[in-house]
Amino acid sequence: MPHTLFSLNYDVLTDILSYLAPQDATQLALASRAAYALALPRIVSDVTLGGLFHKPGNSAVAQLTAFCNFLLSPAPAWLGAPESRLDALQNLSVMRDALRVRKNGIWTVDPTATALLSTVIARARNLQKLTLWGSDVLFAAYPDFASDSSPSIHTLVLGGDVPSLPVLAHAFPHVRTLEFIPGGGSCAPDWAIFTANQLTDATSLGAWQENIDHIDTGYPVLPLACPVRRVDLRNPLVSDTYMLFCAREFLRRTRPVVLSASVSADLTEEEMSAVLDGEVVAPGLRFLELEGDRCKGVKESETFVTNVANTLSALKVPILGLSLSVTPSIPAMSVPHVLKWGESPEPKPAPPAESLDLMKLARTVAEHARSLRFLSLDLSSAPGAAKGEKAWFRVYDAGSKREVERISEAEGREVERTMRAFNRWD
Bridge-based pairing of strands 100-103 and 106-109 is: antiparallel
Bridge-based pairing of strands 374-378 and 390-398 is: antiparallel
Q: Return d(Cα 295, Cα 64) in angstroms, integer.
A: 46
The H or E element spanning position 306 is helix 298-315
How many residues comprise the chain? 426
- What per-residue confidence (pLDDT) applies to 196? 65
Q: Return d(Cα 278, Cα 187) in angstroms, integer.
A: 27
Q: Which of the residues in the chain have pLDDT under 70?
A: 1-8, 10, 29-30, 52-58, 78-82, 183-187, 196, 198-199, 278-282, 331-352
- What per-residue confidence (pLDDT) applies to 379? 94
- What per-residue confidence (pLDDT) applies to 347? 65
Residue 103, classified by CB atoms within 10 Å of its CB into exposed (0-12), middle (13-18) or buried (19+), is exposed
Residue 405, classified by CB atoms within 10 Å of its CB into exposed (0-12), middle (13-18) or buried (19+), is exposed
Spell out the domain ranges in the chain: 37-187+205-214, 227-328+355-425
Beta bridge partners of 108: 101
Instruction: Find the Cα–Cα–Cα–Cα dihedral 146, 147, 153, 158, rounded to 10°.
Output: 50
Residue-wise pLDDT for 51-102, tens only, equals 866 566 668 899 999 999 989 988 777 666 667 788 889 999 999 889 988 8
Q: Return d(Cα 107, Cα 304) in angstroms, integer.
A: 50
Instruction: Find the Cα–Cα–Cα–Cα dihedral 162, 163, 168, 169, rounded to 10°.
Output: 120
Mean pLDDT, all residues of the chain: 86
Answer yes or no: CATH 3.80.10 is held by domain 37-187+205-214: yes
Q: Return d(Cα 56, Cα 351) in angstroms, integer.
A: 53
Q: How is the chain split among helix, strand and coil, in percent rounded to 5? A: 35, 20, 40
Instruction: Find the Cα–Cα–Cα–Cα dihedral 87, 90, 93, 98, rounded to 10°.
Output: -10
Residues ≥6 apart with Cβ < 8 Å to 364: 305, 306, 309
The H or E element spanning position 38 is helix 33-43
CB 376 within 8 A of CB 362: no
Bridge-based pairing of strands 230-237 and 258-264 is: parallel
The H or E element spanning position 328 is strand 321-328
Residue-wise pLDDT for 28-40, tens only, equals 766 777 777 777 7
